[in-house]
A and B are shown apart, each in its own frame.
Chain A
């Protein structure tokens, strides 16, 4: 009886001690891991690292007010400006992106100021993009605060841009029509180039598709790898590695991935381009200026996109087709712009080229696929 009473007293005392320890020394790592490093308990901003980490966590949890209040230079812009800098003024990939994780890298520090590199890794429906900010961090009293390098979006002055609107609409066959009445013909498309390539992680099928017709086409390409026996090894489609909307006589590259397949297994490839009519507009026109092939190391295609119309484009997808000196297709790569493309305002892009391909590339062709609120354009 006496032994049992002692045990109960011990358990109560141990519980109280553990609770006290957890309050005094919270374990941050568990919470941080659970939320992939974007959340977690805030710790006092007594160091430059801690100040930047706290800021990044607030951004990850979209606590704009809290993040803004932590800035040293908040008098230079409003909270709305700060939020727009991160999420974009117009609807874009940024608007619905979530912070996957972040990295904080100290650059240098002194008694009262420091330089920190903050890398924000955002995830979107079409992949990830990275935001890198070089933050100047200053000490105010006993705590550190970051200065946010706000980039103000350039705006064109108010003006009217005349557009000769060109648009196609489609009337399909109705249920009340005679069964012999023909429906509108699907657009005629043709694969003008196709090239298989074995890469470390599988087989890639690259090619180009032409809309031969006089109407816009919604296109897609499906490929089936066939073994010597004729049996299908795998079937995949181009998914988003293609410009799905093709205006008359327009060409798009496409890339189809077959992970885990060896080219030696493949005897032939069955290509199935498909097209259907789509209501579409010929505007806005996007110019791709200053395209440049940058050699290895860090080989890439860089350039600037210019929306020549007066319409905001919410999402721009840039597709690059790369050729060798004989004009043979050697690579297809793409890049999504994370911010909306504003009228007449150039926006830079970079499409990386793998080092083993870069040496073969001699020329390129870039096209854009654009999406504006309301659908395909």
Chain B
């Protein structure tokens, strides 16, 4: 890449060379410039010249009088990278290179948090990675302290600190034992970014149902379903009721509504009724005479 830049600068210099009788042109370049900072380039010699600064995303052209100082404002050079400068005088050229480095003050964060939804009580289940940028979207490669915080409905906050390496830092957190939306935040200096992690109940820990007659039917109802941490299993979770009798069976898949599942099945004496949700089995009821 640098070779290409030098070729470009060389071509520019060759193209603009003309017979001249003025003093030779030269310039003094800064070694490093912070993105978004003003800086200047001192030139020597006499006569008119053109200063070219070529970088990966930016080209600047200035016509100037040799011997003057070329000043650049804060907004002129803001893309971090390696820049090549060429001073093309009437009789001679000078060239050099300098680096524009990211500003040291973080201004933007890109925060990736995964997953957006996971069961409660999962060790190292949540991961977060942050990329730190300056105000001009340059990745700040200098080590920067970062703080991750995960706070949920339980009120307990997990905190991890890290230092960026090559502009990024990452961490892993445990999901809380209590369901609900957790705020996963990253802080760098006085800026922060937050993602919402939905912590959802795990598999039901136990499934119990009761039955009562309802005319020609049996009315079945589960107790409120909870996972092993005591969280209510969400509505919509399917409970399968199965009634076996005389070599036949009746099944119905019922979603939980307001925490319980209800179903009506035909009443047969001696029927064996069971319930299951996912891979969790519930109790069995023997209906009527055996």
Chain A complexes with chain B = yes
Report the bound CA distance from A249 to B237 in whole Å.
6
Q: Is A34 an interface residue (CB 8 A)?
A: no
Q: Are A282 and B117 in contact (CB under 8 A)?
A: no
Q: Which of A336-377 contact B (CB under 8 A)?
A: 365-368
- Are B113 and A182 neighbours in the complex by a CB distance under 8 Å? yes
If the complex has contacts A183-B116, A212-B278, A250-B253, are A287 and B236 also in contact, measured as CB distance less than 8 A?
Answer: no
Contacts of B105 in A (CB 8 A): none
* Chain A, 198-250, CB within 8 A of any chain B CB: 210, 212-216, 247-250
With an 8 A cutoff between CB atoms, is A168 at the interface? yes
Subset of 23 A-B contacts with CB under 8 Å: A166-B235, A166-B236, A168-B236, A178-B110, A180-B111, A180-B112, A180-B131, A180-B193, A182-B195, A183-B116, A185-B118, A210-B278, A212-B203, A214-B234, A215-B117, A247-B253, A247-B255, A282-B236, A283-B255, A285-B263, A289-B266, A308-B264, A365-B251
A166, A180, A213, A292: most-surrounded residue (chain B CB, <10 A) = A180
Answer whether residue A184 sits at the interface, using C-beta atoms and an 8 A cutoff.
Answer: yes
Q: By the criterion CB–CB under 8 Å, are B117 and A185 in contact? A: yes
Give which listed residue, A181, A182, A214, A367, contacts B237 with CB less than 8 A: A214
Say whether B266 contacts A249, CB under 8 Å: no
Closest Cβ neighbor of A212 among chain B residues: B278
Chain B: residues with Cβ within 8 Å of the partner, total of: 41
Of A164, A181, A283, A367, which contacts B195 at CB under 8 A? A181
- The docked-state distance in angstroms from the alpha carbon of A288 to that of B112 is 46
A181: nearest chain-B partner, CB-CB? B195
B115 at the A interface (CB under 8 A) = yes
Find residues 201-257 in chain B having any chain A CB closer than 8 Å to their own CB.
201, 203, 233-239, 247-255, 257
Task: Give the residues from 163 to 204 in chain A that come closer than 8 angstroms, CB to CB, to chain B.
Answer: 164, 166, 168, 178-185, 192
Which A284-319 residues have C-beta < 8 A from chain B?
A: 285-293, 303, 308
Residues of A5-54 whose CB lies within 8 A of B:
none
B248 & A292 in contact (Cβ 8 Å cutoff) = yes
Bound CA span A151–B237, Å: 38
B150 at interface, CB cutoff 8 A: no
Report Cα–Cα, A182/B198, bound state, in Å.
12
Is residue A332 contacting chain B, with contact meaning CB distance below 8 A?
no
Question: Given A185-B115, A287-B263, are A214 and B250 also a contact pair (CB < 8 Å)?
Answer: no
Give the Cβ gap from B103 to chain A, nearest Cβ, in Å. 20
The answer to whether A249 touches B251 (Cβ under 8 A) is no
Q: Given A214-B234, A247-B237 in contact, is the A288-B117 Cβ separation under 8 Å? A: no
Which residues of A are in contact with B by a Cβ distance under 8 Å?
A: 164, 166, 168, 178-185, 192, 210, 212-216, 247-251, 282-283, 285-293, 303, 308, 365-368
Not counting A249-B238, A282-B235, a sample of 14 additional A-B residue pairs whose C-beta atoms are within 8 angstroms of each other reads A166-B235, A179-B110, A185-B115, A185-B117, A214-B201, A215-B236, A247-B237, A251-B278, A283-B255, A287-B263, A291-B249, A292-B247, A292-B248, A303-B250
Is A285 within 8 A of B252, CB to CB? yes
4 closest Cβ contacts across the A-B interface?
A249-B278, A282-B255, A180-B110, A287-B252
B277 touches A249 (CB 8 A): yes
Bound-state Cα–Cα, A366 to B193, Å: 48
- Residues of chain B contacted by A184 (CB below 8 angstroms): 116-117
The smallest beta-carbon distance between B238 and chain A, in angstroms, is 4
The reply on B279 being an interface residue by CB < 8 A is yes
Q: Is the interface of B mostly helix, strand, loop or mixed?
A: strand
CB distance from A33 to the nearest CB of B (A): 46
Chain B residue contacts of A192, Cβ below 8 A: 279
Most B CB atoms within 10 A — which of A179, A251, A283?
A: A251
Complexed CA–CA distance, A184 and B114 (Å): 10
The listed residue (A164, A182, A185, A289) touching B112 by CB distance below 8 A is A182
- A288–B258 contact, CB under 8 A? no
B250 x A164 contact (CB < 8 A) = no
Residue among A166, A179, A183, A214 with max Cβ neighbours from chain B (10 Å): A214
Kindly identify which residue among A178, A215, A282, A287 contacts B251, using a CB–CB cutoff of 8 Å: A287
Distance between Cα atoms of A179 and B233 in the complex (Å):
32
Residue of A nearest to B252 (CB): A287
Decide yes or no whether B265 CB sits under 8 A from chain A. Answer: yes
Of A179, A182, A213, A249, the residue contacting B114 (CB under 8 A) is A182
Instruction: Tell me if B88 is interfacial: C-beta within 8 Å of chain A.
Output: no
- Closest chain-B Cβ to A292's Cβ sits at a distance in Å of 5
The reply to whether the CB of B54 lies closer than 8 angstroms to some CB of chain A is no
Measured between beta carbons, the chain A residues less than 8 angstroms from B117 are 184-185, 213-215
Contacts of B9 in A (CB 8 A): none
* Closest chain B CB from A218 CB (angstroms): 15
CA A168 – CA B117 in complex, angstroms? 15
Q: Which residues of A contact B239 (CB under 8 A)?
A: 249
Contact A291 B116 (CB under 8 A): no
Q: Is the CB of B254 within 8 A of A285?
A: yes
Complex: A182 Cα to B279 Cα, angstroms:
30
In the docked arrangement, what's the CA distance between A181 and B195, Å? 7
B200 within 8 A of A: yes
For A308, list chain B residues within 8 Å (CB).
252, 263-264
Cβ distance B207 to chain A, nearest Cβ, rounded Å? 11
In the bound complex, do residue A286 and residue B252 qualify as a contact, i.e. CB atoms below 8 Å apart? Answer: yes
In the complex, chain B residues 99-134 whose Cβ is within 8 Å of any chain A Cβ: 109-118, 131
